[in-house]
Every structure is written in C-alpha cells, then in structure tokens.
A and B are shown apart, each in its own frame.
Chain A
Amino acid sequence: MGRILKIVVVCMGAAGLLGGCYRAPNDVQLHKPGVYEGPRDPLLAVEKEPQQQKRLQERFQLVQTDR
C-alpha cells in the first residue's frame, strides 16, 4: 500500500516537473526551407496600390532623365 502510494507520488511529482517542458503545438517555429518567416513588411501592401507604380515612374522621369 505504502509502496503504491510512493510510486503514485513520485509519478505525480515527475508529471508536475515535466509540466514545465510542455510546449503547445503553436509555440514552435517550424523551419520551412526557403520561406521567410519574419514580420510582414508594410511596404508590400503599399506596392500593391495602383498609384504607387505610377508615382515611381513619374518620379523617375522627373529626376533621372536629361530633361
């Protein structure tokens, strides 16, 4: 009886200690080769705007040509 209790206590203690090693599935960052996992650059959204391309083209003509 006492031995079973000891075993249960030891198992519970081990379980308690091991609890600290628990990792939720979404805590880990999986490495996918060739895929960027950093924060998303707000510039990417700006680029999608139709006027952005036009803006840059106009700027180019304004500043870098031999006008």
Chain B
Amino acid sequence: MKLIRKPDSMTPVQGSHSPATGDESATGVDRRTFLRRSGLTLGGAALANMLPLGMMRKARAVDITRKAGVKMEHKRSICSHCAVGCGVIAGVQNGVWTDQEPDFESPINLGSHCAKGASVREIGSGGKRVRYPMKLTDGKWKRISWDQAINEIGDQLLNIREKSGPDAVFWAGSSKASNEGSYLQRKFAAFWGTNNMDHQARICHSTTVAGVANTWGYGAMTNSFNDMHNSKAMLFVGSNAAEAHPVAMQHILRGKENGAQMIVVDPRFTRTAAHADQYIRLRPGSDVPFMWGLLWHIFENGWEDKEYIRQRVYGMDEIRQEVKKWDPKTVQDVTGVPEADMYQCAKTMAENRPGTIVWCMGGTQHHIGNNNTRAYCVFQLALGNIGVSGGGANIFRGHDNVQGATDIGPNSHTLPGYYGLSEGAWKHWARVWDVDYEWLKGRFDMTKKYDAGGGKQAYTMNIPGIPVSRWIDGILVEQGNVQQKDNFHAIFFQGHAVNSQTRGVEMTKALEKVDLVVVSDPHPTVLGVMGNRKNNTYLLPTCTQFETYGSVTASNRTIQWREQVIEPLFESKPDHEILYLMAKKLGFADQMFKHIKVTNNQPLIEDILREVNRGTWTIGYTGQSPERLKLHAKHRGTFNTTTLRAEGGPVDGDYYGLPWPCWGTPELKHPGTPILYDPSQPVADGGLTFRARFGVEHNGVSLLADGVYSKGSDIKDGYPEFTADMLKQLGWWDELTPDEQKQAAGRNWKTDLSGGIQRVAIKHGCAPFGNAKARTVVWQFPDPVPVHREPLYTGRYDLVSKYPTYEDHKALWRLPTLYASVQAKDYSKEYPLVFISGRIVEYEGGGEETRSNKWLAELQPYMYVEINPADANDRGIRDGDWVWLDGPGRDTNNPGPAVPSHIKVKAMVTPRVGRGVIWTPFHFGGWYEGQDLLDRYPKDTAPYVRGEACNTATTYGYDPVTQMQETKATLCQIKRA
C-alpha cells in the first residue's frame, strides 16, 4: 500500500500526561511512585486549579522561552536555595531569563545543581509572584500603590511607636537577603530603636553558634565541603546532606572514594544513610547520651589525643566525670543504640583520623540544643580533630545566606559581627555609622529598665530582643509579663516564613490579635493567608536575589558575589530599597544612609559592603572588599577544588571567597581562613589558633594554649587577645603608622577602626584574637558540662525523673519561658508517636517559593507523613490513606483546657522511620486543619502545591541560651481520616 504523507503543522508539545496508575501496593515503593499512586493525575483535569501549562502561560507569567537569533548575555549569580553556594550561570535575552548553564568553573559546585538549583530559571517567569502592593480590606485583596503602602504602614508604625514605644513592633529579617540586605535590616532596627529584629538562624543553628562559639571562639563551620575530600572518617549526626545539601554530597562522596568511612546517626534511615558505611538509629532527643556514650569507649580504650588535650583543651577532666555515667547499658536504655554499634562507631572515628563531624537540625532543634552542639565539639576535641584539614566541626548551614545574616545581619541578641548589645558594642557601631551615640540611645525606650535575666535590670537597648521563635508570645503573653513597654502591635516580615515556627494553633490566635501585619516577600507566604484576618495585612512585592546583586556568605564562610540577572519583576523592589523607603517615611533615612550613596531610592550595594568592611573586625569581614570579591568571581576557575586556594592567575594565593576571618583592611590582602584553628599555617596565610575569649584563667587553671602556636609566630606560647596596651608591652606599638596609632590608642583588635592592631599582630605571626585553649565547660551556661535532659514532650516519661528539664523562667529573652511546668504532664499515653520533621530535596524552607515553581511542584504534590508499617497496621492505615495527625496542643499563654491541633496529611508507609517515630516534611503551607486556604490568596499567587504546615501540630519548648525551638522531639497521634 502506498502511504501518502504530508507534513502537517505541529502543535507544540504541551498538556499533561496520565501516569500509569496501579493498585498493588508493592514493597520498596519510592517517594514518587507513592505520590503517583495516591491518585493524583498530574496536571489536566484532576486538580481544579492546575491548568495545562499552555493555558497557564497566557495568564500572567513572563514568557521565558528561548528565542533564536537574539543576543544572549550571561550573568553569574549564586543559587538562592541553600548554603552550599552553587554558582548559577543565567542566560538573558532582552532582559528575560531564557537559559541556564552549569557554572563548571565554580570550585564549590563545579557546575552541579540539585533539583532546586536546576530550577532557578523558573523564578524569572514570576508566575505566582505578588505583582504589586496589596492590602487586605474586608477579606478581599486590593491593589494599592507603593506610595500608599509605605505611607499607610509608616503612619501606623509611628502611631504604635508613640503609644507603645518602638519595641511594640516585631521585625523579621531574612537569611535569604544578601549580606548588604541583611546588614541593613539590622541597622534599620537599631535606628528604629529596638532589638526585636531576628531571622531564620534562630530556629536553625542558633544553638550551634552559641555552643560552638563558647567552646572555641567562633560558631561557624570550621572547615569546608571541599575539605572533606581529606577526611578519613565522617560522622553525620542529625544531618541529611543528601536532601538538605545535595551538592555537598559530591564532596562527601569524593571523600568516601578517597577512603573515608561514613557513619550516619539519625532516627530515620535517610538518603544519606543509604550511602553510609554504618547507620545508627537514634532515639530523637538523645544526642548527648549518644556522644557521651561514644566518648565512654574513647576514654575506656585510651583513644583520646592526650597531647592535644593537654595543649589546647580546658576542662576535659570534668567531661570525664560526666561521661563515666554513660556506660553502654545506660546508653542503650536512653538512646536505643546497642553497645556493639557504639563501640564500632567510636573505634572507626578513633582509628580513622582526621575525622569530621557534621550536624544539622537533628542536633540543634532541641530545648537542650546548646548541650548537643557542645557535646559534638567536645568529642572532636577529645580526638584532636579540630584545626586540621579533613577534620573539624562541619556545620552545614541552611538558607543561602544564613551564615552572612548570622554574621552581620538581623539578630535580636547582637549587633552585626557578634559584638553583642553592651554599651561598648553600641558605641563601636555608633562610631562606624558615624552617628552620635546619645542620639542613637534616644531612639530606644529609655523610660524604664526591665528584667534582663540573671537578676539584672537593663534598658531594652541592652536586652536581647524577642526572637523569631517567640514572636507569637510577644503578642499573646499578658502585657505585664513582657519585659518591654507593651506587647507587639505590628509585625513586619521581610523574607521570612512563619510555617517554620512551632505552635501554629497559637500563631493563628496571635495573628488575629495583632493590629498590623506586613509581608515583604516575593510571595504572599503562609503569613499572608493564615488566621482569620480580614483587614490590615499588607503585601509588599519584594524581589528575589536574582533581581538584584550583592554578596552572599556560604556555609564554609566563603563570600561570593552575585551579579544581577534580571530587573525586578513587575512592581517588586529589592530589600534595601524597601528599607530605604521605610526609613525615609519613619524619619531616620538621613542618619542611616549617611555614608551610603542612594540613587533613585536605591542604596548602593558596594557602599554598604564597604561599611561592613569598616566595622566588622571581630570576625574579619574587613578584608573582603567588593573589588576583591568581584575579582574572585571572575577568576573562580583558578581555584583548586580541594584546598580552595588559587593556583596562579590574578588572585594567586587567595582562598576562594576570602573565607572569614579575612583580617585587616583590604589593602593587607589577607587570603582568608579556609580552615579555622589550624596552627600549622601562618596566620598571614590562613592559619589560626583558638580564640582567647573567656579570660586568661579559670579556677586557677590557665586558659591560654600550652606550647602550641601558629607557624611563624613570634610568641611561642599561648597569649591573650590583642589590645593597644599589649602591643605596647610587647614593644610592637611603634610599628603602627601615626594614623593607625591615633585610631588604635586605648582600643583592642575589635574596636580599632584602622586595623593597625590586627596588621601588626599578624606581621608577628600572631592571631589578633589570642591563642587559647578550647573549653569544654561553659560556666555561664545553665549546664556548664553538657548533660542530658528529656525533651519537654517525651515518649519515655519514665526517664523524666532521672533527666528532668530546667525550672521555669520568669523572664528569658523578655518572655516567661516554661520548662518544668510543661514537662510535668505525661502526654505519651494519648500521643504515643514521636513526631519529628525535616527537609526534602525538592523544596526549601517555608516552601512558598519552591512550591510555586512548576518544575519542583510537579515532583512533590502532597504533604505526607512517614509512618512505620507496624504503626500503620496498628491503626489500620494503608499507604496513601488520608490521616489526621493530632498534636497535644496546649495554650501556653493562658491556663485552661488544652486545644489540641489536627492536620490532615497523606500517609506514606515506609520502614524508613523506626517503630514509634513518625516524620513529616516541614516545607508545606496553605492548608489549615484540613482546609485548603486557596481562597485567601490573592488571585493567581497561590503556590501550585499547598498542604498542611507540620508546625501547626508542633509544641512548646525553647533552649534557654538561644530560644531555639524544640521541633526535633515532640509527640503526636495519628488516625485514619
């Protein structure tokens, strides 16, 4: 038969595809199969609001299809999803983001991406973005102009300030802002007159920063992802790098191929555990017993590095006393880990040095988080693994710029650079900002002193502000019990989700009570739609980091420069422009932007970074000028991918991104410090000692290093931190130039704005911050030696009497904070399942941005709970069933009957979680107690995927040192819906 064929006009490939649906529930069902079998036919008719993409595109998004023959420019940015800091090459045609290429020259990711990094081009389409300022009026979203928005918000804030004082506004800044943006956020709060400005680090690694900094000086990742190529052993405790830091796994697996042993400790058999040599299942909340149980074997067998301890560690004998209590039998009872596994793990770490330890939320998010983090550090100190390549405490940070925001950004307990909130700290920054200290003081509420904790009274200017983990209590707690003039009457969230904080039911009440809510974000976020608000919520369209430029600090302290890819979409504005407009309206813009050039309402980013360079001496954010960072970006291909050092080229000898501390002024050309506390390198070359932060002696024992010092150091022993006086004593004072001497007189390495003290110290091979021992005992903390305490909501109530929690505090971080009174009740009978939550690779953080990305949304359409087959069978639950997850709600601000929480999710039956433990991802939002909040979103801004926020069902519990929330150990019950 003759076939006659004429080419017909092709319609573009579009529409949706119905995957094979099967009914057999096989074993080994993976996450995607499970979700397909849940009956979701992706796209098409199934979900009423998911139109085939062809139809979607016409609606509101920018068409990001590539066009042939149109000139393409390439811009380089950094992925905005996590702190690994993968380079992104964006191809732009006529201002539209039409192409994405691998940034293979970047020494950090070598071109690689995870699903999120590979999806960033979608951000340029802006399909679900808030396009213009909006105001909620009588339950409806109305479009308003920027002028109207700024004026109305500003007027209300000024009103609140007059009636209730500046502390009556809670400001949330962002870990997703650039360094310059987050620094301005902190400065803004200071000029407004409050410390009530905080960001995501609070609920992420705040316990790490506090615990680690108080152990050896700085609370950041000590080595780097790349340095893990050199590790001989890797211990992951509560870290699921395969899903939370996927590209870091590239370096981890390279290390594994180089012969490293990998041990993963987690209540779940995670995707990271699938690559481990040894996997240990841990009872949630038993990190301290676990680490002490390991140390028990270390000490028992004499595997500790005695010389290292003698020279560089203080207080190990007190640790030995505590560790004695954790014999194998006790450890097994409390952690669930058998002796053989503990021994094996300890032996592996002891025999394979240098070894590194990695921990993330699994360790930090507990009400004894600061104990956990210090226990991890002590373990590494015992093995002599700190300050060596391949070793270290490799703390994987979360958001793309949480490190930068923690370093110089919106923290309620400190000014930029960890200077704190003392008078000295304020005076230092007043000098840097070139404002009169008395004027700055006058911005604060100086009418009355309040309870600053520890029996002290202070003005709110010197008391840490209410942190982002507790802003709801700032609204709900009785006015007399908040240690400031009044409760919060307004909240202003710039770049921060709310579904990542616990106690969602009480959050709903708080939102209904507070007067003004402002959401400055690319998307409405859960904050825009949660609660039953009908009026006075504002949405300010804020652009992403791809629509502006600036610097960003990755987890390994490397600072990278981002180029602007596209102009801000629709009417959105960058963080710094919004802050400028607000500052202008509120009346302090002239002072705040005194040395920052502003053109067309846009503060100059380079000027902001230079101001940071002028003021942040504590952590060495002084050498990373915009010029040096841009040069590093341009020549990133010259850096070695293991050492991160440039080999040849215009930046020869520098470490990539000038990881802080990058001492002295940019003119000093310090190469950055890739590995912290490594005395084998000269300080001028990136080496370091432990910081002398805690005094020179304690209880008669010297805290200074004993016979250990940096290579090339003129002082061949321990020494305290450098001051002008010390330089004079050493006879080095005259090496300062006359200019430097003028500025440095009477000051120390942190407050000398000339950088001379640092320069001279380094010239003599000394670390400006001293050379001390790390301390394993933190005498200022509630538990000087880290001890175990049962979680407030624990499944092992029998252990509470032996390991009880703290006493209640009347005022901690300005709020009454409960411990014993919460733990007094046994919830484990009614709520027998231990409830933990975490990350999945497809989404990030609160999830609004990633769930609005069509490429990512397709991969994870449902909120779900992982439940062990035994627990599922006990409850008659089958894979894919809808279930109610009930939390033991407790109205912690008003006595009375408990208000339990309920969320409706799908069940995924899997052996990934052990019996008695269930797990949910935390990225979802947009549902509340079974109800889809779609109608509350402004038109066309609801994310493709919405689901219950797991934190609607989580509970009370806060670390006394940092107010970290206890999300990694609470209780719940599950039943079929």
Chain A interface (Cβ < 8 Å from any Cβ of B) = 28-31, 62-63, 66-67
B95-111 near A? 1/0 per residue, CB < 8 Å: 00000001010000011
On chain A, the residues within 8 Å of B3 by CB distance are 29, 31
A67 and B102 contact, CB distance less than 8 A:
no
Bound Cα distance A67, B254 (Å): 11
B215 part of interface (Cβ distance < 8 Å): no
Instruction: Write the nearest CB–CB distance from B548 to chain A, whole angstroms.
Output: 28
Say yes or no: is B13 at the interface (Cβ < 8 Å to chain A): no
- Name the one of A30, A63, A66 contacting B102, with C-beta atoms under 8 angstroms: A63
Q: Does B5 contact A (CB under 8 A)?
A: yes
Q: Say yes or no: A28-B4 contact (C-beta < 8 A), given A63-B104, A67-B641.
A: yes
The main secondary structure of chain B at its interface with chain A is loop
- Cα–Cα distance between A28 and B2 once the two chains are bound (Å): 7
Chain B residue numbers with a CB within 8 Å of A66 are 110, 254, 641
User: Would A29 and B2 be within 8 Å (CB), given that A63-B102, A63-B104, A66-B254 are in contact?
Assistant: yes
Bound together, the chains give a CA A66 to CA B642 distance in angstroms of: 10
The interface bits of chain B over 216-259 (1 if a CB of A lies within 8 angstroms of the residue's CB, else 0) are 00000000000000000000000000000000000000100000
Interface size on B, residues (CB 8 A): 11
Please name all residues of chain B whose beta carbon is closer than 8 Å to the beta carbon of A28 when the two chains form the complex: 2, 4
Distance (Å) between the CB of A42 and the closest chain B CB?
A: 13
Q: Could you tell me the distance between the alpha carbons of A32 and B641 in the complex, rounded to whole angstroms? A: 54
Q: How far is the CA of A31 from the CA of B3 in the complex (A)?
A: 7
Residue in A29, A30, A31, A63 whose beta carbon sits within 8 Å of that of B111 in the complex: A63
Q: Which B residues, 52 to 108, have Cβ-Cβ distances below 8 Å to chain A? A: 102, 104
A31-B2, A63-B102 are known; give 8 further A-B pairs, CB within 8 A.
A28-B2, A29-B5, A63-B104, A63-B110, A63-B111, A66-B110, A66-B254, A67-B110
Residues of B within 8 A of A29 (CB): 2-5
Most buried by A among B110, B111, B641: B110
CA distance A63 to B1 in the complex (A): 50
Across the interface, which residues of B come within 8 angstroms of A63, CB to CB?
102, 104, 110-111
How distant is A17 from chain B, measured CB to nearest CB, in Å? Answer: 21
Chain A positions within 8 Å of B2 at CB level? 28-31
Question: How many angstroms from the CA of A63 to the CA of B102 in the assembled complex?
Answer: 8
With A67-B110, A67-B641 known to touch, is A62 a contact of B4 (CB < 8 Å)? no
Q: For A67, list chain B residues within 8 Å (CB).
A: 110, 641
User: Chain A contacts of B254 at CB under 8 A?
Assistant: 66
Interface contact B104-A62, CB-CB below 8 Å? yes
CB interface residues, B 1-41, toward A, < 8 Å? 1-5
Q: Which residues of A contact B111 (CB under 8 A)?
A: 63
CA distance A18 to B3 in the complex (A): 21
How far does the alpha carbon of A29 sit from the alpha carbon of B4 in the complex, in Å?
A: 6
Q: Of all chain B residues, which has the CB nearest A29?
A: B5
The 6 closest A-B pairs by CB, nearest first: A63-B104, A28-B2, A31-B3, A63-B111, A29-B5, A66-B254
Least CB distance, B331 to chain A, in whole angstroms: 39
Per the bound structure, the CA–CA distance linking A66 and B226 in Å amounts to 11
Could you give 20 example pairs across A and B, Cβ below 8 Å? A28-B2, A28-B4, A29-B2, A29-B3, A29-B4, A29-B5, A30-B2, A31-B1, A31-B2, A31-B3, A62-B104, A63-B102, A63-B104, A63-B110, A63-B111, A66-B110, A66-B254, A66-B641, A67-B110, A67-B641
Measured CB to CB, the closest approach of chain A to B113, in angstroms, equals 12
**What CA separation (Å) do A63 and B2 show in the bound complex?**
49
**Cα of A24 to Cα of B363 in the assembled complex, Å:** 80
How many whole Å from B251's CB to the nearest CB in chain A?
A: 9
A9 to B620, CA, bound (A): 106
Instruction: Write the chain B residue with the least CB distance to A31.
Output: B3
Residues of chain B lying within 8 A (CB to CB) of residue A62: 104
Most-contacted residue by chain A among B1, B104, B641 (CB, 10 A): B104
What residues on A are CB-neighbors of B104 within 8 Å? 62-63
**Of all chain A residues, which has the CB nearest B229?**
A66
Bound together, the chains give a CA A50 to CA B571 distance in angstroms of 50
B641 proximity list for chain A (CB < 8 A): 66-67
Cα(A28)–Cα(B254), bound, Å: 59
B808 to chain A, nearest CB (A): 54
When chains A and B are docked, how far (Å) is the Cα of A23 from the Cα of B254? 67
Inter-chain CA distance A63–B104, complex, in Å, is: 5
Closest to A62 in B: B104
What's the Cα separation between A29 and B5 when bound, in Å? 7
A14 to B402, CA, bound (A): 87
Contacts of A31 in B (CB 8 A): 1-3
Min C-beta distance of B505 to chain A, whole Å: 49
Q: Which partner residue on chain A sits nearest B641 by CB separation?
A: A67
Smallest CB–CB gap between B131 and chain A, Å? 37
